[in-house]
């Protein structure tokens, strides 16, 4: 039976669609621009368009919902419309169409209040203390999704953490561009230990969740490579892959967090588009530890990452050489 993948024009969405096709599963995609994945049935539209969403879910047995507004800045109403109301519409439409299983692709930021997370499992989504509109609305949407899980409509949430890989414009290209422009400082020397996830591993985990819904339903599962490393080491590896020198200068994390808050407010008041050079959330992510206990996730999903970080960076370097 056909599986619908929303948000398949993004790096992770494309990887999920390709993984499903490789497993022999018919795939329909739904996003605002063509997915570019050969072999899928592309449907174009936005998740806040009820007519388009209802048409996309018809005849599907499962839904993997990745579509979201992902940004450090922007109007709160836009995040609510896409991330919360869009998710509500996908869920309601899927249930009405007789879809059995839904995987909601969430984020560990839904349970991050700004303090370090050291070897922890998936904590409860907390919209009240989440940092920024993206994390807040993803937390609200995750709670909404899991609250609707039932024997005849099974829902689980997967929280892939800091997904990267070839073709990544959200993290990798920004790191490389800022390093090339000498606008990428380390915070507190880049000593914070963090987990990341190579894109192919995130994709196989999400597909595994759909396959293991009998065990995963009703749960939120954090997915990472399980190889926490100092952020300075990770940034240096990304920079070397892209052929640029890694940053050598550092500023105190406390200073970056204060400056990020000021810059973010100024950016919004000025009505500027694009991403500001620093926000409080970004400074917190770059200066606090966040790595996760993966034992429960791997037990439930019967899954382990196939691509280690070093192999991932080799693949990233090959991508940039090409």
**Residues catalogued as catalytic:** 134
Contact present, 185 and 247 (Cβ < 8 Å): yes
E strands of 16-162, at which residues? 27-31, 41-44, 60-65, 101-105, 117-120, 154-160
CA 261 → CA 115, 172, 183, 236, 276, distances in Å? 16, 23, 18, 26, 11
- Percent helix, strand, coil in the chain, to 5, is 45, 20, 35
**Residue 230 CB: number of other CB atoms within 10 A?**
16
Strand 60-65 vs strand 250-251: parallel, antiparallel, or unpaired? Answer: unpaired
Instruction: Please give the backbone phi and psi of residue 241, each rounded to the nearest 5 degrees, phi first.
Output: -60, -35
E strands of the chain, at which residues? 2-6, 27-31, 41-44, 60-65, 101-105, 117-120, 154-160, 163-164, 186-187, 193-194, 197-198, 220-223, 229-230, 250-251, 290-292
Contact present, 149 and 156 (Cβ < 8 Å): yes
Which strands, in side-by-side order, build the sheet including 60-65?
Answer: 41-44, 27-31, 2-6, 60-65, 101-105, 154-160, 220-223
CA torsion, ordered 122, 154, 301, 311, to nearest 10 deg: -80
104/83 Cα distance (integer angstroms): 11
Instruction: Please give the backbone phi and psi of residue 115, each rounded to the nearest 5 degrees, phi first.
Output: -90, 165
156/161 Cα distance (integer angstroms): 16
């Amino acid at each position: 039976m056909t599986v619908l993948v929303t948000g398949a024009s993004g790096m992770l969405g494309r990887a999920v669609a390709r993984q499903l096709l490789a497993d022999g599963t018919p795939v329909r995609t739904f996003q605002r621009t063509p997915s570019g994945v050969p072999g899928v049935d592309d449907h174009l539209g936005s998740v806040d368009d009820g007519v388009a969403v209802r048409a996309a879910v018809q005849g599907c047995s499962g839904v993997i919902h990745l579509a979201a507004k992902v940004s450090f800045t922007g109007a709160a109403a836009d995040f609510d419309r896409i991330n919360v109301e869009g998710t509500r519409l996908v869920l309601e439409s899927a249930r009405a169409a007789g879809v059995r299983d839904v995987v909601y692709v969430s984020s560990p930021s839904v349970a991050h209040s700004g303090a370090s997370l050291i070897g922890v499992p998936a904590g409860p989504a907390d919209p009240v203390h989440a940092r920024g509109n993206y994390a807040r609305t993803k937390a609200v949407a995750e709670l909404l999704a899991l609250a609707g899980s039932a024997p005849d409509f099974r829902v689980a949430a997967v929280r892939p953490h800091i997904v990267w890989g070839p073709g990544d414009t959200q993290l990798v290209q920004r790191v490389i561009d800022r390093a090339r422009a000498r606008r990428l400082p380390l915070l507190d020397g880049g000593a914070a230990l963090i987990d990341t996830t190579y894109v192919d591993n995130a994709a196989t985990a999400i597909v595994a969740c759909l396959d293991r819904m009998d065990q995963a339903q009703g749960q939120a599962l954090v997915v990472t490579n399980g190889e926490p490393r100092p952020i300075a080491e990770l940034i240096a590896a990304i920079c070397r892959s892209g052929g640029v020198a890694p940053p050598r200068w550092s500023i105190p994390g406390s200073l970056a967090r204060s400056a990020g808050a000021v810059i973010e407010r100024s950016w919004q008041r000025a009505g500027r588009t694009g991403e500001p050079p620093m926000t409080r959330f970004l400074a917190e992510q770059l200066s606090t530890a966040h790595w996760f206990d993966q034992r429960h996730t791997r037990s439930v999903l019967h899954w382990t990452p196939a691509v280690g970080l070093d192999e991932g960076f080799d693949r990233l370097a090959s991508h940039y050489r090409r």
